[in-house]
Amino acid sequence: MRAKILIVYLKEIKEILRDRRTLVFMVIMPTVLVPLLMNLLISFMIKSEKKAETEVLAFAVFGADNLPKLSEEFAKNENFRQVDVSSLDEAALSIKDNIIKFALVIPVQAQERLENSEQIAIELYYDNSSAVSRVRNRVSDIIQQVSDKFRAERLASLGINSSEKQENLISPVIIKEHGTANMREILGEHAGGFLPYMFIIFCMMGAMYPAIDLGAGEKERGTLETLLLAPIKRSQIVLGKFLVVFTAGVTSALLSLAGIGVLLAVKVKQIPAEVEIGQILSSIDLADLLLIASMLIPTAAMFAALLLSVSIYARSFKEASSYCGPLNFLAIVPAVIAVLPVVKLDWYWAMVPITNISLAIKELIKGTMNYEMFIAILGSSFIIAAGLLFFSTKWFERESVLFRQ
């Protein structure tokens, strides 16, 4: 029996390796694309952060004479450039068109009101849709400097000249934090969700085209009937095809993982310490990578069995492709759920397929994996994969499925 399955496996693997699309999705994309994407992402994050912090911000001020000290603070800072804008409506349009970055509206008699120990509100108009914008923080820093000066003057007029006494008066009770999570846990929680998502997607993509070709593709080429006439049980044929699709899926996922490992070994020292991805990667060791790889094996098996069943049912390569498209959501949606901050790995989520894999990989990246839960997730995933393979075998034995009109 094993010899016959091996014969089918070798026969199908030779055909698959001749297909350029399979090689692209199984080998080239995970091997080349993953390290390339990681490098691009890191470079983009570094450049975006530097640009957001150091670019010269053009701005407009309405009522500048009402608080000269604030205008002086902005004038002293070379990273701000004031421009003349006639009205607030024009300023709003200029912000939208990226001509200026923000506009300030200072209330009437602001200087006098501050000197009389009153509080004023300075209005800030800026584009708050950008996730990487530092406009609000940088403007707040300047305004806070002016506010601190007025606060110090007020307290000095009351006879409190010491900066320490001033701070104690303003903040009589403070919080001294002692976080129990280490840096790996913090960064893994914040940015560790995209890695399992990437691995799962490559599991799906690597298995998809081989599955379509070995089922619907053989129907189109007319070679399926010849294979069925061979003195081999249909269950053995399915197992041989399944192993080929599984090999493609798991190879794609493991190569993407290997790409991360290469990046870890070669590039991590070149990543600045303040970049979160670099800190996460530097804390992942070989044992973590092996445990992550073990989670990808049942994932690839589930996708292989499911995609092969769909391909066997389809009448043509085109029809199989149209069926497999929506199936991508079976990989994408559960993986995205695991990225949500409200979703944590517990015994409930440990029973949800794909999501549990993604959450387990995230916990491995954080270094906080519950290994009892890990074994349960691994075992349940293998059981689901075996169930899908059993269904695929029975599905292949039905004449109405193989020879649909």
In this prediction, residue 265 carries a pLDDT of 65
> Is 70 exceeded by the pLDDT of residue 108?
yes
User: What are the two backbone dihedrals, phi and then psi, of residue 60, each rounded to the nearest 5 degrees?
Assistant: -125, 150
**What distance lies between CA 16 and its chain's CA centroid?**
31
The reply to whether 59 falls in a domain is: yes
The reply to whether 176 falls in a domain is: no
Say yes or no: 312 and 369 in one domain. Answer: yes
Of the candidate ranges 32-46, 310-324, 350-364, the one whose mean pLDDT is the lowest: 32-46
Say yes or no: 31 and 59 in one domain. Answer: no
Say yes or no: 206 and 341 in one domain. Answer: yes
Cα torsion through 136, 139, 143, 148, rounded to 10: 80
Q: Which residue has the higher pLDDT, 316 or 140?
A: 140
When pLDDT is averaged across residues 42-52 and rounded to a whole number, the result is: 70
When pLDDT is averaged across residues 209-233 and rounded to a whole number, the result is: 78
Of the candidate ranges 45-49, 230-234, 360-364, the one whose mean pLDDT is the lowest: 45-49
Task: Identify the top-confidence range among 49-63, 131-145, 383-397.
Answer: 383-397
The reply to whether 177 falls in a domain is: no
Structure confidence at residue 266 as a pLDDT band (50, 70, 90)? low
Q: Which residue has the higher pLDDT, 248 or 49?
A: 248
> Is 70 exceeded by the pLDDT of residue 19?
no
Say yes or no: 246 and 314 in one domain. Answer: yes
Of the candidate ranges 178-187, 210-219, 227-236, 392-401, the one whose mean pLDDT is the lowest: 178-187
The reply to whether 179 falls in a domain is: no
Q: Which residue has the higher pLDDT, 247 or 289?
A: 247
In this prediction, residue 387 carries a pLDDT of 92
Q: Which residue has the higher pLDDT, 45 or 272?
A: 45
> Is 60 exceeded by the pLDDT of residue 275?
no
When pLDDT is averaged across residues 124-129 and rounded to a whole number, the result is: 87
User: Smallest Cα–Cα separation from 66: which of 13, 104, 14, 117?
Assistant: 104
In this prediction, residue 2 carries a pLDDT of 67
> Is 60 exceeded by the pLDDT of residue 149?
yes
In this prediction, residue 201 carries a pLDDT of 82
What are 314-353's pLDDT values in tens digits? 887 788 888 877 777 777 888 888 777 778 888 888 888 8
When pLDDT is averaged across residues 251-266 and rounded to a whole number, the result is: 74
In this prediction, residue 171 carries a pLDDT of 73
When pLDDT is averaged across residues 23-32 and rounded to a whole number, the result is: 69
Pair type for strands 57-62 and 123-126: unpaired
Say yes or no: 293 and 266 in one domain. Answer: yes
| DSSP-assigned states of every residue in 144-187 | HHHHHHHHHHHHHHTT---HHHHHHHH-SS-------S-HHHHH
The reply to whether 84 falls in a domain is: yes
**pTM greater than 0.85 (yes/no):** no
Say yes or no: 294 and 220 in one domain. Answer: yes
> Is 70 exceeded by the pLDDT of residue 361?
yes
Say yes or no: 327 and 383 in one domain. Answer: yes
Q: How far apart are CA 103 and CA 83, in angstroms?
A: 10
The range of the structural domain enclosing residue 352 comes to: 2-47+185-402
In this prediction, residue 62 carries a pLDDT of 92
> In this structure, what DSSP letter does residue 129 have?
T
| CATH number of domain containing 87 | 3.40.190.10
Say yes or no: 231 and 132 in one domain. Answer: no
What are 150-172's pLDDT values in tens digits? 888 888 877 887 777 777 777 77
In this prediction, residue 47 carries a pLDDT of 74
Across the chain, mean pLDDT equals 80
**Residues of the chain above pLDDT 70, percent:** 81
Number of folded domains that form the chain: 2
Single-letter amino acid, residue 59: F
Report whether 361 contacts 195 (CB < 8 A): yes
